[in-house]
Amino acid sequence: MFVVMTVGASEAEILGVKSQILAEGLTPFDHVGAGRTTIAVVGEIGSRKPALLERFERLPGVASVTPISRPFKLTSREFHPEDTVIRVLDAVIGDGSLTMMAGPCSVESREQLFETADAVKAAGATILRGGAFKPRTSPYAFQGLGIQGLRFLAEARERTGLPVITEVMEPSQVDIVAEYADILQIGTRNMQNYSLLRDVGRVARPVMLKRGYGATIEEWLMAAEYIVSSGNPNVILCERGIRTFETYTRNTFDLAAVPLLDRLTHLPVIVDPSHATGKRWLVKPLALGGIAVGADGVMVEVHPRPDDALSDAEQQLTLEQFRDMMDAIVPLHAYVRGIYTASP
Ligand code: PEP
Ligand code: MN
């Protein structure tokens, strides 16, 4: 439930409500928007609901108490009507600007990463991606350079000024990845790894949570809720396709998720047409599709020589293809932005 305070509620009244919530063994989270504080009451409320509702309503400074039927609370638009805006170095995500995350699937060498980083930066990328710890379907496939890959990413950040995003696969790696990276990525296979979600919820780095390939939108938002309720409000959602019966594409790109999420949550949404399609020639049209339905940005895989890539060779764009895609995305984004800001 959400306790909405009156516009002029005092600090003491807000503290009074929070201490009552804590006394019930529940956790208060507050959000200040439009001059008033809303306190989300999270925890296992169960059958206490009607009694608590009545009690909280009578506390000084309380305007109203709303029961919330949605299972996700802190990530919901009801709790936090304004968009979440995330700032990392010079990049801003979720403020209406175009976020372009680009880079290789895997960091393979310093040269490969620098060549890609320089080219994507020159073409307008705002964030550099690259996998150091790779979740591979086969245990015999290239597993990533690990910590050496993280070091190369940090060097590429120094060189280009771009913040870097990379995947963290297990709780024991969270601290080391957070030491080198600016944004932590949770991959599709780990979307419901709750101990990992809790751990990235405790670090001072934004987290990009990819959609589980078999996850509903509600399960995805509940996974985001784990991170936010652990103390990290800076979560970015990434639609990367889900598994269906279709086999021409690697996954099925769920474009409807983008406007749906815009309604359900305040968190920024990025689309990943590389993993969604698995095919280089499908990346540009679907990146444009993602922008057209209102995504805050795109993540794509780019490699100087995709055919020689150690992972995801078929879906990585060449440097030239990335530039060509950017030439189409930038004006489309400017046009679409006008449409969405004008709509009621
Ligand atoms: C990736 O982006 O490097 C990746 C492995 O993606 P996903 O988890 O979506 O498969
Ligand atoms: Mn990949």
- Render pLDDT for 206-239 as a digit per residue (tens, 0 to 9): 999 999 999 999 999 999 999 999 999 999 999 9
- pLDDT band at residue 69, thresholds of 50, 70 and 90? confident
- What mean pLDDT comes out for the span 276-304? 98
- Which amino acid belongs to residue 270? I
Q: Chain-wide mean pLDDT for the chain?
A: 97
Q: Return the ligand 1 atom nearest residue 190 CA.
A: 8
- How crowded is residue 23: how many other Cβ atoms within 10 Å of its Cβ? 8
Q: How far apart are CA 81 and CA 75, in angstroms?
A: 10
- What mean pLDDT comes out for the span 140-153? 97
Compare 33 and 163 and report the one with higher pLDDT.
Answer: 163
Binding pocket residue ranges, ligand 1, CB within 6 Å? 105, 131, 135, 167, 187-188, 210, 240, 275
Tell me how far the alpha carbon of residue 123 lies from the centroid of ligand 1, in angstroms. Answer: 23
Closest listed residue to residue 295, CA positions, set 103, 92, 96? 96
DSSP string of 129-180, one letter each residue: E-BSS---SSTTS----THHHHHHHHHHHHHH---EEEE--SGGGHHHHHHH
Q: For a pocket test of ligand 1, which of 116, 167, 208, 239 has the largest count of ligand atoms closer than 8 A to its C-beta?
A: 167
Query: Which DSSP helix (H) or strand (E) runs through 93?
Result: strand 91-93
Q: For a pocket test of ligand 1, which of 220, 275, 311 has the largest count of ligand atoms closer than 8 A to its C-beta?
A: 275
Tell me how far the alpha carbon of residue 10 lies from the centroid of ligand 2, in angstroms. Answer: 51
Give me the percent of the chain exceeding a pLDDT of 90: 96
Contact 201, 228 (CB under 8 A): yes
Contact 244, 236 (CB under 8 A): no
Q: At what angle do helices 11-23 and 49-57 cross, to 10 degrees?
A: 160
Tell me how far the alpha carbon of residue 161 lies from the centroid of ligand 2, in angstroms. Answer: 23
Q: Atom 9 in ligand 1: which residue has the minimum CA distance? A: 188
Tell me how far the alpha carbon of residue 164 lies from the centroid of ligand 1, in angstroms. Answer: 15
Q: Atom 10 in ligand 1: which residue has the minimum CA distance? A: 188
- Which amino acid belongs to residue 70? R
Query: Does pTM top 0.95 for this prediction?
Result: yes
Token output for 150 = 């993280």
DSSP string of 186-203, one letter each residue: E-GGGTT-HHHHHHHTTS
Which sign, positive or negative, has the C-alpha torsion 161, 166, 171, 172?
negative
**Confidence at residue 343, expressed as pLDDT on a 0 to 100 scale:** 62
Q: Tell me which ligand sits closest to the C-alpha of residue 167.
A: 1
